[in-house]
Amino acid sequence: MMKSLEEYIALAAESHGHMCPGQVLGIRMAMLGLKAIGIDDPGKYRKRLLTFVEIDRCATDAVSLVTGCRLGKRSLKFLDYGKVAATFVDLETQRAVRVVARDDSREKARTMFPELAEPHRQQLAAYKVMDDAELFTVQPVRVKLDGHDLPGRPRTRVACEQCGEGVNDGRERRVNGRILCRSCAGEKYYEPLSD
């Protein structure tokens, strides 16, 4: 059974290390998304739930807390779009919704709690009590899933023909007839240092 907002807020503050407006948004976003796809007990339906998050901020920790989806379980997918948004997918029914935090909710928070001078405190108070429609837009969506993206054990594993490192689940690149990892194919996010 899904917990109450207050219970999730207490768990999120403990897990994340502090309570902030992003945590409240993430909790409410996940609760709304799960409800919209017909999942009332994320623990019971964990193996059929897949969640895509679009930001690497506080809201993502809260979405993970509520849904139980984790990167290590391959049930949480991070797409760096810089948006406070998440898509919730029921793998069994294929129902999916994308929930996006509304930017105008910040201004509404200011007008709801003008006595709280700091925007952070205004948002924290308002996001707990605002209607879902004031906080979020919800859009039914279809998510195209590749078998390599599903939770569970790796579907494939190949070795990079240049560095020899293993690459799981179709993340390799084919360059001039060679199988390369993304780094060797020129997509490095790091630069090796010589000893």
Express as a percent the part of the chain with pLDDT over 70: 99
> What pLDDT was estimated at residue 195?
66
**Domain 153-187 class, CATH top level:** alpha beta
Higher pLDDT, 45 or 7: 7
Average pLDDT of the segment spanning 176-180:
95
Write down the pLDDT at residue 150. 86
Between CA 21 and CA 161 the distance in angstroms is 47
Least confident residue range of 45-49, 68-72, 142-146, 176-180: 45-49
CATH for 5-148, options being 3.30.365.10, 3.30.1330.130, 3.90.550.10, 3.30.450.20: 3.30.1330.130
More reliable by pLDDT, 195 or 29: 29
Question: What beta strand segments (E) does 41-188 contain?
Answer: 49-53, 76-78, 85-90, 96-101, 136-140, 157-159, 166-168, 173-175, 178-180
Per-residue model confidence (pLDDT) at position 153: 86
pLDDT digits (tens, 9 = 90+) for 54-86: 999 999 999 999 999 999 999 999 999 999 999
Q: Which two tokens stand for residue 69?
A: 């989806």
pLDDT attached to residue 4:
92
In the chain, how long is the greatest CA-to-CA distance?
65
Render pLDDT for 147-170 as a digit per residue (tens, 0 to 9): 888 888 888 899 999 999 999 988
Q: Is the pLDDT of residue 185 over 90?
A: yes
Residue ranges covered by each domain of the chain: 5-148, 153-187
The pLDDT value recorded for residue 190 is: 86
- Which of the residue ranges 3-12, 31-40, 87-96, 149-158 would you say has the lowest mean pLDDT? 149-158
What is the crossing angle of helices 21-36 and 119-129, to 10°? 20
Radius of gyration of the chain (CA): 20
Average pLDDT, the chain: 93
